[in-house]
Structure 1
Amino acid sequence: MAASGSAEGGGFEAPSPADFYQPLIGSGQWAFTRPMLLMIISIIFIAGFLIATTRKAAVVPGKGQWLTEQVYNFVRNSVAQDTIGSKEFIKYVPLLFSLFMLILVNNLFGIIPPFQYPTFSRVGFPIGLALLVYVIYHAIGIKRKGVAGYFKGLIPSGLPKGIYVLIIPLELITYFITRPVTLALRLFGNMFAGHMLLLLFILGGQYMVLEGGPGLKVAGIGSWLLAFVMTVFEALIEFLQAYIFTLLAATYIADSLSNEH
């Protein structure tokens, strides 16, 4: 991701949120931006990789097939089956696997040249995925229990009717507002903040090495070393955010299927 390292007056200009808006074609809200292009690239890459590694599947897998199977089995067994349960999990594995792959690849774009831009640092993308999950888990619950049964299940059983006036608004806020908002903002916040810090260390180090005296040049090299360490740490965060988003989606689906809900 490109950002200006110095201002017109010659001083260092720290990266800002405005640097994350990078239109390629047009301007304003209808512009075709860099993260849009990266999302398209990620979809093409994921589809091509999965087709290439599975169309000639063998009992003894090659490296590509082995990698695909490991990721698939991780989502299938450690996310879908463990969270939704062994009776009904299998039908939701394609959704959860697709979510995990899409988020992971786009997150990793933030540290892989020449992309170096985490797509989900633009808030519209995590909002879109969160709304998709929102619609799906509500639709699953309503299909299973009916509209009346689904909303009735929002109230925990065994509670005195006198506190319904407090519980019902809280449950409605949780299921219809808090869940989708936190699902989107958690992913966005981590990708945005992590990439902003990497930019700050890299561009700050560049400015000190190119423009500073001997002491600042040493500090600039130290800034680059910290940026390398943070890049490794950021890769872990990017994986964890893909896992957490997918796990929460599975949790919400399981909650909609549960008889207690």
Structure 2
Amino acid sequence: MAFKGEFHPPSIDYEFFPADQWLTGFAGDAFVLDRLMIVRLLMTVVLLGLFMFAMRNPRLVPRGMQNVAEVFLDFVRVHISEEILGKEQGRRFLPIIATIFFSVVAMNLPAIIPGLNISPNARIGFPLVLALLGYVTFIYAGSKRYGFAKFVKASVVIPNLPPALHLLVVPIELVSTFILRPATLTIRLMANMLAGHLILVLLFSATNFFFWQFNGWSLIAVGTSLLSVAFTLFELLVIFLQAYIFALLVAVYIDLALHAESH
């Protein structure tokens, strides 16, 4: 049996830097929108809409969407915020940590939503914004408790070291604490979502290729289809896992800032 069709190779350049843009020529192109920015705005509206709908009429005994929203909020509060920071500081920084967690989830989900098929977190912009939010938060937490200068000193100077070793250790601690933390947060999230997207593109493209271009290899196309579905389910796990890791690390950095003197 011969299949008639045409294989269309994927264009990664077009997906991440699409030619179609909106609001060009307005305010010096300051508000230009491309496909990924549209997806970001869409998922932001969806996330806000879901929480507004869930909490539109809160009840003491939650049910329906309020119950779902509170289950997820309790997960972030109990298993991330209070687990790392304790009850008092956990509740204090919960709004930031919860915002980061749900933002990462919302921006990761388009990777497996048909019609969107790409995570905005696979491009560096949004992960960098979230990393800078965490960065500012832990610097604020440490500066608020110790004062900025004392916080920086406590973060980079390890007590009871021989004086000569400070010449080596202080620059390492300075780079590790104040430069590498936001960089590693950004790259970890972006790289994981980019890698997942590329693997899905390759699997679905292989299915398309074997089915239309090599009719006798259609059984291989069935195999790559099954692998595509399996990896999509795995990517769903990665979506939540990356949100958990990102929020957890921000909580850890805040805790380290709050206890900088016990470095």
Question: What is the TM-score with the length of structure 2 in the denominator?
Answer: 0.89
Instruction: Go from structure 1 to structure 2 and tell me whether the alpha carbon gap of 1:115 and 1:19 turns closer, same or farther (over 3 Å shift).
Output: closer
1:24 corresponds to which letter in structure 2?
Answer: Q
1:111 corresponds to which letter in structure 2?
Answer: I
Partner of 1:145: 146
1:23-62 alignment, distance < 5 Å: 23-25=20-22, 26=24, 31-62=32-63
Residue 127 (1) aligns with residue 128 (2): yes
2:244 corresponds to which letter in structure 1?
Answer: Y
- For the residues of structure 1 that align with 2:76 and 2:90, how far apart are their CA atoms? 11
- For the residues of structure 2 that align with 1:148 and 1:19, how far apart are their CA atoms? 45
Work out which of the residue numbers 211, 214, 220 in structure 1 matches 2:213.
211
Structure 1 stretches of at least 4 aligned residues deviating more than 4 Å after TM superposition: none
Residue 183 (1) aligns with residue 185 (2): yes
- For the residues of structure 1 that align with 2:249 and 2:14, how far apart are their CA atoms? 30
1:16 corresponds to which letter in structure 2?
Answer: I
Unpaired segments ≥5 residues, structure 2: 1-5
Q: Which moved more, 1:58-67 or 1:98-107?
A: 58-67
- For the residues of structure 2 that align with 1:117 and 1:80, how far apart are their CA atoms? 29
Deviations 1:5-35 (A, max 9, x none): 53xxxxxx455355322243249x9641112
Unpaired segments ≥5 residues, structure 1: 7-12
2:12 corresponds to which letter in structure 1?
Answer: S
Let me know the Cα RMSD of the aligned residues. 1.9
1:179 corresponds to which letter in structure 2?
Answer: R
CA contact (8 A) 2:101 2:247 kept: yes
Question: What is the TM-score with the length of structure 1 in the denominator?
Answer: 0.90
2:121 corresponds to which letter in structure 1?
Answer: F
- For the residues of structure 2 that align with 1:95 and 1:139, how far apart are their CA atoms? 12
Q: Which moved more, 1:60-69 or 1:192-201?
A: 60-69
Identity of aligned residues (%): 31
- For the residues of structure 2 that align with 1:223 and 1:15, how far apart are their CA atoms? 19
Partner of 1:108: 109
- For the residues of structure 2 that align with 1:157 and 1:20, how far apart are their CA atoms? 47
Partner of 2:229: 228
Q: How many residues end up aligned between the 2 structures?
A: 250
Partner of 2:12: 16
- For the residues of structure 1 that align with 2:104 and 2:242, how far apart are their CA atoms? 8
1:147 corresponds to which letter in structure 2?
Answer: F
Deviations 1:81-132 (A, max 9, x none): 0111223221110111111111101101110122221110011111121112
2:149 corresponds to which letter in structure 1?
Answer: A
